[in-house]
């Protein structure tokens, strides 16, 4: 039985628990986790508050060495942690290893930032006066993450937050509790003092109530959230009442524009990976392929061919994708499949819906009846009037539509109102820069898929995909630090800005 960790100690198990199962073998339990309540989250925030002052006073380069130790422990335990990710959320082994590597990459970047939390000296308009700026930690950071990337995404928040001198309270997804526990243990064994990183296993309702109380008591200085747009809007509203700006990384309906001059096999490869990798359960998964009418038919034919040939099944095997993460996500995807209408044409597999003995998938790896396995689906003919076109699907489904002009492609790409990731396949630089200038997405790929982040590049979206905050790279430092300015007057007299400024008079009437 796993339980929350507050102030370095496991708290006693309460009356409620959650059973995390292997989505590829739903009869197998991965972990039993004791669910905390709102009061536990408040206690964790209080413990973080008590620990933060001492952690802030640890020199930043030394905090960087703790981050370096985390990175070394992650690399030493890479295979073991990836195996837990595969077993608990059904991510194929290659993807799980890549996810764990992203933690190590994040640590590798931020260990150096401990020596680069630079402020500036600024020239003053007064003599004998010095101006400075400093980065200070915000204080206590509460992070709430989804479980589709159960260890990589938390590291995007937790590593820079700790590096900057904050204490953290983390609420992971219940269905990824074993991943979260392993993640915590790696950080704890890197030398973090008790209370600097706290983990609270709770459901959504108790988390929200606890966060509401903690904010009301002044125990939380920053909230980070990765999850659905609807929940993100509620958290944003709650934080706004306390004059806080949360870091919100939300959903996406990510477009891929395929121009008439595109390398079609390359575009198909990108669509296959970004549409069906992680069973379409990424915030950056391909939503709709927007294909020029002159190549639309050929693109659909090639994508259908590639999708039918792709291996699907047991994530321990070499497959494109495995199961959906949990029954909750399977139920959600069943609803999405109901959005397919009579005006749509379906491609990609031998059936739609759950893969079973009655609805088999050719070349399936493993036992389809054992887990939450679904057929990949390509739906041609979607448009702005369709729910499938306008809303995030979060499952192995790709919409396809045709366009005639670049203006139409941009309008279609922006229509759903999300703004996370977008892609264009073309050989024309003019098309690339026109697309970049007018697309609403925070991230743009050229001749590459909508999915794929590097640890030193800003990650985040606009519109329904987020509030403009960015993770990763040096840009995330602005989420976890506040700028403080200082002026130091050594003149021995009061010098008033804008008033006691030396004026040098020009001769504006001079002419040659």
Angstrom distance (rounded) from CA 455 to CA 470:
12
- pLDDT at residue number 411: 98
Domain 5-250+465-486 fold: Aldehyde Dehydrogenase; Chain A, domain 1 (3.40.605)
pLDDT tier, 134 (very low <50, low <70, confident <90, very high otherwise): very high
261-310 residue pLDDT tens: 999 999 999 999 999 999 999 999 999 999 999 999 999 999 999 999 99
pLDDT at 452 > cutoff 90 = no
Active-site choice (113, 206, 249, 392): 249
pLDDT at 84 > cutoff 90 = yes
- pLDDT at residue number 453: 81
360-412 residue pLDDT tens: 999 999 999 999 999 999 999 999 999 999 999 999 999 999 999 999 999 99
**249 is annotated as an active-site residue:** yes
Share of the chain above pLDDT 90, in %: 98
Q: Is 245 exposed, middle or buried (0-12, 13-18, 19+ CB in 10 A)?
A: middle
Residue 381 · residue 400 · CB < 8 Å: yes
Per domain, the residue ranges of the chain are: 5-250+465-486, 254-446
User: CA angle at residue 399 from 396 to 404, to 5 degrees?
Assistant: 155
pLDDT at 40 > cutoff 90 = yes
- pLDDT at residue number 14: 87
Share of the chain above pLDDT 70, in %: 100
pLDDT at 146 > cutoff 90 = yes
- pLDDT at residue number 97: 97
- β-strand partners of 169: 142, 198
Residue 248 · residue 167 · CB < 8 Å: no
> Token digits for 221?
């200085």
What's the mean per-residue pLDDT of the chain?
A: 96
Residue 280 · residue 379 · CB < 8 Å: no
pLDDT at 39 > cutoff 90 = yes
Give how far Cα 103 sits from Cα of 168, 397, 459, Å: 17, 28, 15
Which helix (H) or strand (E) segment holds residue 131: the answer is: strand 129-137
- pLDDT at residue number 77: 98
At residue 421, φ and ψ (nearest 5 deg) are -130, 150
- pLDDT at residue number 471: 92
pLDDT at 455 > cutoff 90 = no
184-231 residue pLDDT tens: 999 999 999 999 999 999 999 999 999 999 999 999 999 999 999 999
Phi/psi zone of residue 13: left (φ > 0), alpha (ψ -120 to 50 degrees), beta?
A: beta
163-180 residue pLDDT tens: 999 999 999 999 999 999
Half-sphere exposure of 49 (CA within 13 A, CB side): 14
Provide the whole-model pTM. Answer: 0.95
At residue 383, φ and ψ (nearest 5 deg) are -160, 175
Residue 8 neighbours by CB distance under 10 Å:
15
3-state SS class at 355: coil
Sign for the pseudo-dihedral over CA of 302, 304, 308, 310? positive
Residue 506 neighbours by CB distance under 10 Å:
6
Sign for the pseudo-dihedral over CA of 412, 416, 417, 420? negative
> 5-250+465-486 with 254-446: one CATH topology?
no
Write the class of the CATH domain 254-446: alpha beta
């Amino acid at each position: 039985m796993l339980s929350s960790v507050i102030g370095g100690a496991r708290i006693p198990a309460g009356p409620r628990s959650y059973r995390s199962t292997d989505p590829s073998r739903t009869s197998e339990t991965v972990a039993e986790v004791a669910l905390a309540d709102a009061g536990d989250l408040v206690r964790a925030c209080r413990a973080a508050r008590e620990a933060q002052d001492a952690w802030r006073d640890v020199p930043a380069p030394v905090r960087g060495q703790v981050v370096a130790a985390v990175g070394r422990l992650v690399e030493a335990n890479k295979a073991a942690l990836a195996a837990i990710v595969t077993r608990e959320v059904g991510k194929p082994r290659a993807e799980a290893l890549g996810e764990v590597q992203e933690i190590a990459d994040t640590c590798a970047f931020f260990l150096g930032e401990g020596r680069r939390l630079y402020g500036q000296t600024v020239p003053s308009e007064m003599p004998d006066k010095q101006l400075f700026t400093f980065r200070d930690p915000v204080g206590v950071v509460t992070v709430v993450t989804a479980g589709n990337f159960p260890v990589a995404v938390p590291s995007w928040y937790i590593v820079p937050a700790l590096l900057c001198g904050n204490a953290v309270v983390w609420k992971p997804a219940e269905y990824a509790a074993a991943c979260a526990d392993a993640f915590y243990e790696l950080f704890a064994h890197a030398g973090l003092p008790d209370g600097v990183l706290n983990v609270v296993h709770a459901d959504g309702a108790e988390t929200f109530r606890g966060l509401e109380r903690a904010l009301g008591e002044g125990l939380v200085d920053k909230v980070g959230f990765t999850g659905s747009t609807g929940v993100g809007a509620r958290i944003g509203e709650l934080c706004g009442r306390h004059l806080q700006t949360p870091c919100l990384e939300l959903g996406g309906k990510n477009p891929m524009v395929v121009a008439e001059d595109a390398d079609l096999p390359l575009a198909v490869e990108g669509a296959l990976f970004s549409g069906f990798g992680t069973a379409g359960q990424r915030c950056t998964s391909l939503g709709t392929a927007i294909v020029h009418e002159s190549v639309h038919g050929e693109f659909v034919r090639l994508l259908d061919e590639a999708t039918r040939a792709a291996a699907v099944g047991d994530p321990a095997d070499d497959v494109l994708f495995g199961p959906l993460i949990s029954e909750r996500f399977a139920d959600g995807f069943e609803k999405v499949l109901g959005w397919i209408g009579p005006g749509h044409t379906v491609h990609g597999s031998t059936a739609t819906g759950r893969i079973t003995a009655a609805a088999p998938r050719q070349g399936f790896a493993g036992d389809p009846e054992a887990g939450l396995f679904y057929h990949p689906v390509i739906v041609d003919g979607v448009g702005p009037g369709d729910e499938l076109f306008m809303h995030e699907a979060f499952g192995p489904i790709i919409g396809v539509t045709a366009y005639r002009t670049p203006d139409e492609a941009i309008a279609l790409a922006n229509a759903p109102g999300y703004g996370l990731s977008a892609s264009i396949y073309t050989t024309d630089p003019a098309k690339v820069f026109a697309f970049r200038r007018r697309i609403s997405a925070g991230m743009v790929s050229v001749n590459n898929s909508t999915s794929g982040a590097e640890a030193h590049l800003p990650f985040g979206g606009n519109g329904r995909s987020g509030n403009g905050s960015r993770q990763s790279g040096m840009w995330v430092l602005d989420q976890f630090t506040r700028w403080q300015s200082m002026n130091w007057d050594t003149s021995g007299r009061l010098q008033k800005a804008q008033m006691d400024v030396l004026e040098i008079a020009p001769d504006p009437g001079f002419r040659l």
